[in-house]
Amino acid sequence: MNAPPSRRPPPLLRFGVEEEFLLTGPRSRITVPAAEAVVTDAARTLGPRAQYEFLATQVEGCTRPVGTVTELRAELADTRRALVCAAERADCRLTATGTAVRPSHHPLPVTPKPRYQLLADRVDGVADQVGAELCGCHVHLGDLTLRQSLSLSARMRGWLPVFQAFCANSPFCEGNDRGTASNRPDRYARWPTFGPAPLLDETGYRGALDRLLADGVIFDRRMLYWYARPSEHLPTLEVRVADTSADLDTVLLLAVLLRALAHTLLDPRTPARPVLVPDPALRLAHRRAAAAALDARLPDPLTGRYRSVRHLLPALVEFTAPALRRTRELDFARHLSTHLLATGCGADRQRAALTRHGHLSAVVDDLAHRTAQPC
């Protein structure tokens, strides 16, 4: 006789965050190719948690995997502090924005590392033509098997536009303002394999990667830019949908709610299951999230009806409330989500800085100040 399925909650997951930043000049306010100096300096404190990115105008800070939001806040603050100080010593500023605010010098300087040079050759100028100074905030959830990661990715798909919306932080792109809250997704869409993850089991996933490699679409498995993907080097699901954020509380809300959603969807006792959103509707939802952020109307993952993000974010908190209560983060999530809805997302703050001062240099100054605040 087969044993009945477990009705116990799933094991608690750990989480970690990767934040990508631009380096900007304190006087020019445009991006500067100082990554070599900044990463080398910051690595004295952070070790391998200070990392290069595709372009020499970008750096990345990584936390260690932790179990509590208090630990995550400390990790993020320590990582930012080391990078902020290293940037100051290199006469530049750490700046958290999804796209460069002011026009950058072209051609954009590729980091002189073999993989990045190969990537630049493979995309054949796309990086410089559409702009590759694209910075995201990636959350790792684990430990998970490949099967669990793929199952979780499939069930999370309908919720990810909500996360994208409240993390929107790229309204300006190299001096251009198209009236959207997040320019990063549109720019990133010119790259291969970007967008919502397909619905795949383990066999389908391995087959899809093999075909992409054989067809030359990608040259290694790290070139999957899906919004959620199994990590190739860690036992985690990596969620990549968010713009990087200058506001540390937004990063914490992103990570806390993603982990709570994972716990909820993995819990066999959860009564409500997300409705399956077809790919065309899902892509439209992501476009709406990028365009209107908190004011976007998106399909409710539990009912399929269209609702404002201002309703969906509190609904997400309440849907995941049992999981948040289990990790003692429910009051924290309610407070941060209420505060964000009252004060606006990163894109709102960038536009407010422009309104106050009348020029994009002030937007860069405000972003650099906010990025350094927790430090």
Length of the chain: 375
Q: What is the pLDDT of residue 126?
A: 65
Q: What is the pLDDT of residue 195?
A: 94
Q: What is the pLDDT of residue 3?
A: 47
- Chosen CATH of 14-372 out of 3.40.50.720, 3.30.200.20, 1.20.1250.20, 3.30.590.20: 3.30.590.20
**To 10 degrees, the CA torsion angle through 76, 79, 84, 85?**
140
Place of tokens 């669990």: 148
The pair phi, psi for residue 128, each rounded to 5°, is -80, -35
Q: What is the pLDDT of residue 191?
A: 80
d(CA 315, CA 270): 15
Q: What is the pLDDT of residue 1?
A: 42
Neighbours of 370 (CB within 10 A): 20
State pTM to two decimals: 0.96
Q: What is the 3-state secondary structure (H, E, C) of 242-272?
A: EECCCCHHHHHHHHHHHHHHHHHHHCCCCCC
Q: What is the pLDDT of residue 84?
A: 99
d(CA 160, CA 132): 23
Q: Are 363 and 348 in contact (CB under 8 A)?
A: no
Q: What is the pLDDT of residue 6?
A: 61
128 contacts: CB under 8 Å, gap ≥ 6: 106, 107, 108
Q: What is the pLDDT of residue 324?
A: 99
Domain spans of the chain, in order of start:
14-372
The radius of gyration of the chain's CA atoms, rounded to the nearest angstrom, is 20
228 contacts: CB under 8 Å, gap ≥ 6: 152, 153, 156, 157, 160, 197, 237, 238, 239, 240, 241
Q: What is the mean pLDDT of each run of 10 residues along the chain (375 residues)?
A: 63 98 98 99 98 97 98 98 99 98 93 89 68 91 97 96 99 96 92 91 96 91 93 94 99 99 93 82 98 98 95 98 98 99 99 98 99 83
Q: Are 169 and 345 in contact (CB under 8 A)?
A: yes
Q: What is the pLDDT of residue 119?
A: 84
Q: Are 57 and 31 in contact (CB under 8 A)?
A: yes
